[in-house]
Structure 1
Amino acid sequence: MRKIYVIGIGAGDPDQLTVQAVRALRQVDVFFLVDKGEDKADLVGLRQEILRRHIGDGDYRLVEVRDPARDRAADGAAYPGAVDDWRGRRADLYERMIIDELDEQAEGDRTGAFLVWGDPALYDSTLAVLNEVLERGAVRFDHEVIPGISSVSALAARHRVGLTRVGRPVQITTGRRLAEGWPEGADDVVVMLDARQSFLHHLAADPVIHWGAYVGTEDEILVSGRLSEVADRIVELRSAARARKGWIMDAYLLRRD
């Protein structure tokens, strides 16, 4: 049977791969690299550097495909439908790649892999898309998930803070949800990929913020302090970085007294 590895590769630093991940890389015949366009070509480049660093010029193939476009303007009640539509088109693409590029015969390329930023179980759609492909029944495969160092863990490590405090929960949420209000029952909140800069809605509460962009890469930017004191700086840095690179990956921890 065909086999797919879903390998967490950390937040961007090739040294963040686990020994388990490196062992899995060495079992792969075909790596599927999802291209998100010219602005994000360096994301493919980072994946290629990870392969060069850890397995060299091994006996494997790279298959690059363009990621389907997503309706970024969809909001409110339309947002879940837009995400479902995008995942469905991704499932079409993944299904076709697995059928065309992996061979169930013993002498063929039977093992493929998706290299996922951070950890595949946190804020990523690869597992959901592969499950949809399996549910369709057009192709059979086994799959194994290799956990990775998440951007959340990397962010906390770079700021030298713990994500939790004694007897208190931490909540991971999105910028959309944070804009609606501070999560009930949590004083420590991690926000992922907040294009809306929703922390600006909470200046009055003045929590501490630990913010990071491109964590684990040469472009890493870190800011920490009282929100009222550093919010303008984060907005400025974020805007400049996005204009320079064409994309941004960031996350932050908000901590109320």
Structure 2
Amino acid sequence: MLTLSLIGIGCGDPEQLTRAAVQAINAADLILIPRKGSAKSDLADLRRTICADVLTNQTTRIAEFDLPVRDAGEADYHKGVDDWHEAVAAAWSRTIASQLGDDGKVALLIWGDPSLYDSSLRIARRLDPLPDIEVVPGITSIQALCAAHALPLNDIGEPFLVTTGRRLREGGWPQGVDTVVVMLDGGTAFQSLDPSGLHIWWGAYLGMPDQIAMSGVLAEIGPRIVAARQDAREWHGWIMDSYILKRRP
């Protein structure tokens, strides 16, 4: 029987690992580390660092593999994502079959938590053979962002919405909420909004040594965030960021 553990590892700081995550890492027969190209080698390096810090099981093996790249030029967004998930599942299956066969315990270290804006669970259900899937929750980028700014996410008795940069850009400010969390923004979708009355709390590389956090009135701080984001992306070759917008009178 094949078991796949999706282990939330937080946002890059090994101190964010839970005791359950450490136990799950050491219970694995095989740990998979995806490589996303030289521009994102930091992500694989951090996974290696986590394993070096907490892996004490001498029999656990580590296997690295190249992660397929999504075709960003696909006109049908959902089809492009679906095709990419299929390719990723095939890469997982090949690596597991060559390293472990169809019996044993496999682990994948997932940024943040496997349940929030992460496709690992959907991809795992495409594997052949289908494994028994278990999830170890982790600290999300939303939690790390709020902590970086010492910010309570919700206002008293009020809802908030978690969305993507693409949907914010295409649909504008969502109806019925005054707090919006924006993730997976390939650009700076907040620039598409009327900044009047909006405040922003932005963070990049949360939990990592190069963490950046900026906040303020959107009309004033927005251009500085755009410039800082561009500089950081050029320096690292990649960026992972998220932000919270609140509408104030």
TM-score (norm 1): 0.92
* Cα deviation digits, residues 46-100 of structure 1 (max 9, x gap): 001111111257322111111111112345xx11111111011111112222222
Q: Secondary structure at the match of 2:226?
A: helix
What pairs up with 1:99-110 in 2 under 5 angstroms?
99-104=97-102, 110=104
Name the counterpart of 2:188.
197
* Cα deviation digits, residues 163-189 of structure 1 (max 9, x gap): 111121111100011112111111100
Name the counterpart of 2:94.
96
The residue identity in structure 2 corresponding to 1:120 is P
Deviation at 1:102, TM superposition (A): 2.0
Name the counterpart of 2:61.
61
* Cα deviation digits, residues 145-173 of structure 1 (max 9, x gap): 00000001110011001111112111110
Contact 1:2 1:102 in 2 (8 A): no
Residue 106 of structure 2 corresponds to residue 116 of structure 1:
no
Matches of 2:187 and 2:60 in 1, distance apart? 40
The residue identity in structure 2 corresponding to 1:183 is P
Contact 1:189 1:255 in 2 (8 A): yes
Q: Find 2:168's aligned residue among 161, 170, 178.
A: 178
Q: Find 2:154's aligned residue among 159, 164, 181.
A: 164
Q: Secondary structure at the match of 1:41?
A: helix
Structure 1 unaligned regions, length at least 5: none
Give every structure 1 segment of 4 or more consecutive aligned residues whose post-TM-superposition deviation is greater than 6 Å. none
Matches of 2:10 and 2:55 in 1, distance apart? 16
The residue identity in structure 2 corresponding to 1:93 is A
Name the counterpart of 1:44.
44
Name the counterpart of 2:227.
236
Deviation at 1:143, TM superposition (A): 1.6
Greater mean deviation of Cα atoms: 243-252 or 177-186 = 177-186
The residue identity in structure 1 corresponding to 2:79 is G
Q: Secondary structure at the match of 1:26?
A: helix
Contact 1:10 1:16 in 2 (8 A): yes
* Cα deviation digits, residues 106-141 of structure 1 (max 9, x gap): xxxx111010000000111111001122xxxx4142
* Cα deviation digits, residues 226-246 of structure 1 (max 9, x gap): 001101110010000000010
TM-score (norm 2): 0.95
Name the counterpart of 2:139.
149
Contact 2:26 2:56 in 1 (8 A): no
Structure 2 unaligned regions, length at least 5: none
Name the counterpart of 2:244.
253
Q: Find 2:198's aligned residue among 186, 196, 207.
A: 207
Name the counterpart of 2:83.
85
The residue identity in structure 2 corresponding to 1:70 is R
The residue identity in structure 1 corresponding to 2:19 is V
